[in-house]
Structure 1
Amino acid sequence: MVLNDAVRELLDGKNPAVLTTLNPDGSPQSSVVWVGREGDQVVISSTGGLRKVQNLLRDPRASLLVIDPADSGRYAELRGTVQVAEDAGREVAIRLAEHYEGDGAGQEYADLPAEVQRVVLRLTPTKVHAHT
C-alpha cells in the first residue's frame, strides 16, 4: 500500500505512536513506540523477547496509531502485518533515538552489552485510516 503525503509526514515527525499486538488469548496489548519510515514500511526498534515481539512472532497482525501532539485530531491508524528481524548493528535503534531525542542519543543503544538483543519490527500497512 502506498502511503499519502499526510501520513508520511506524521510518520516522519517526532510524533508518539502506539503499537497494538494480539496476546495469545486474543486480547490487545499496546505499547508506546518510536517510529521511522523506510519507503511505505514503518520501522520500530525493540528489545527482543518483550511481549509485543513474542506476540508478533506468533501472530504478525498489528495496528499502529500515530498522533500529532500539537493537534490530537490529526492522526493515522495503520493496520497490517509485521516482520521481526535482528536490528543489525542496532542501526534502527540508534537512528530512532537520535531522531526523537537528538544527536548522540543513540549512543545508549550502541553501548548495550552484546547479549542484549535488539530487533526491528517492519510494519507493512494493508489498511490506513487517517484524519489529517
Structure 2
Amino acid sequence: MPDLSDSARALIDANSYATVGTIEPDGQPQLSLVWVTREGDDVVFSTLASRRKHANLDRDPRITLLITLPEAPYAYLEIRGTATMDTEGGDKLINDLSLKYTGKPYTSDLPGAVRVVVRVTAGHVVEHG
C-alpha cells in the first residue's frame, strides 16, 4: 500500500469531491460522485446498501477514486485500490460528511435505510497538479 503524500492528504481533507468508479457485472464502469474523508491513508465514504456501487463492490472490491476540488479541477488525485465495507458507523459517517460539506446534519435517508462505510485502501496513487 503506497503512503499518501501530504498534498494528497490535504486534498482529501478539503471539501473535495470524489468520483467513484466500480465495475458492473458486464464489465462496464459505473461512476458516482461522493463526499470523502480520510482515516490514516485510507479514504472513506458512505453509501446505501441499496445502491449499485455497494452491489458492485460486494461482488468485486476493485475501485478507483478521482478526487478534485471544484475550484481547481485540473489538479487531481487518482487512487486505485480495494474497498472493504461495514455497516458499523455508517450513520455517523454520513452525518460527519454532511457537516464537513454543508455545515448541516444529514437528514436525507428514508426510514430503514442501511448506511455502509466504504474504506478504500490504495494500491496505486497518481497525483496531478
TM-score (norm 1): 0.91
Counterpart residue number, 2:84:
83
Counterpart residue number, 2:118:
121
Query: One-letter code of the match for 2:38?
Result: R
Equivalent pairs, count: 128
Please say if 1:108 is aligned against 2:92: no
Contact 1:18 1:66 in 2 (8 A): yes
Structure 2 residues without counterparts, runs of 5 or longer = none
SS of the residue 1:73 aligns to:
strand
Contact 2:48 2:115 in 1 (8 A): yes
| Structure 1 residues 16 and 107: alpha-carbon distance in aligned structure 2, compared to 1, 3 A threshold | closer
Structure with greater strand share of residues: 2
Counterpart residue number, 1:25:
26
Contact 1:80 1:123 in 2 (8 A): yes
Counterpart residue number, 2:73:
72
Contact 2:79 2:123 in 1 (8 A): yes
Q: Deviations over 1:81-113 (max 9, x none)?
A: 0001104361111110100000xx22416x852
Structure 1 residues without counterparts, runs of 5 or longer = none
Identity of aligned residues (%): 41
TM-score (norm 2): 0.93
